[in-house]
Structure 1
Amino acid sequence: MITKEIILRLHELSIIEYGGSHGLRAEGSLESAIARPYQTFGGEDLYPTVYEKAAAMGESVIMNHPFVDGNKRTGFLAMLAVLEEGGLKLISSKEKTYQTVIDISTGSKTTEEIVEWLKANCKPI
């Protein structure tokens, strides 16, 4: 399970590597984003597959804007962390990945579309 500590570390590494402002803007938004992929209803996972969990995590971190800066980068890294935890690696080109992250941030891609993109662009580790 991807924890708050992992996401905070991913954010820190992203800011160190690529620049921007450090800081958590909305702790509740981060906690909500982290909880989303692991939600259940009636004892059933709402996001049962690794692809669905990764999509939900990435989309939530990107859209909830929990950080002062670096939300898209951190959301993308969180998505990769979920995939890796599930034994998968993203193999998409930098250009397609960049466009997908931008599409997520503008709301142009639905969760289902993100899931389909991940299915088409991942392979087992």
Structure 2
Amino acid sequence: MPEWLEIEDIVYFQRLLVNEHGGLHGIRDKGALESTLARPQQLLHYQPDASIYKLAASYGFGFAKNHVFNDGNKRLSLTCIDVFLQINGLQLIAEEVDAVLTIRDLAAGLLDEAGLSDWIQKNSDHLDPG
């Protein structure tokens, strides 16, 4: 069973990202936040064989598309993918520019959730135990 992201973590990440990059703090839609956090768990419930990459893509898609926060949703999308992979023994190894462009394409509707899952799988590796 994977480790999941928690609402407190997401709010903290958004605050850090806005402090670093600028923008407005705060949740725009708490229902959308709760729904986005539940997406990967629901996916696993109905598709018990869903890969960790599909679950990470579910977080990424939800945060990029649901406009949960006042600002920083695309940055948060990428952060959630990265952190979710890390707490589950993987790491995102994509170049920063590639990652940013991928999330931008996702938010613009040029990349779907399945495509994001494929991209995550191709750009992930196991964490070094040391």
TM-score class, shorter-chain normalisation, is: over 0.9
Query: 2:21 aligned to 8, 18, 23, which one?
Result: 18
The 1-side partners of 2:59 and 2:75 are apart by 12
Q: Letter of the aligned partner of 1:37 in structure 2?
A: P
Instruction: After TM superposition, list the pairs within 5 Å mapping 1:35-114 onto structure 2.
Output: 35-39=38-42, 44-45=46-47, 48-114=50-116
- The RMSD of aligned alpha carbons is 1.6
| Structure 1 unaligned blocks of 5 or more | none
Q: Letter of the aligned partner of 1:39 in structure 2?
A: Q
Shift of residue 48, structure 1, vs aligned partner: 2.2
Q: How many residues align?
A: 124
The 2-side partners of 1:28 and 1:99 are apart by 28
| Structure 2 unaligned blocks of 5 or more | none
The 2-side partners of 1:9 and 1:62 are apart by 17
Contact 2:40 2:59 in 1 (8 A): yes
- Following TM superposition, the consecutive aligned residue runs of length 4 or more in structure 1 with deviations greater than 6 angstroms are none
The 2-side partners of 1:120 and 1:72 are apart by 20
Shift of residue 46, structure 1, vs aligned partner: 5.9
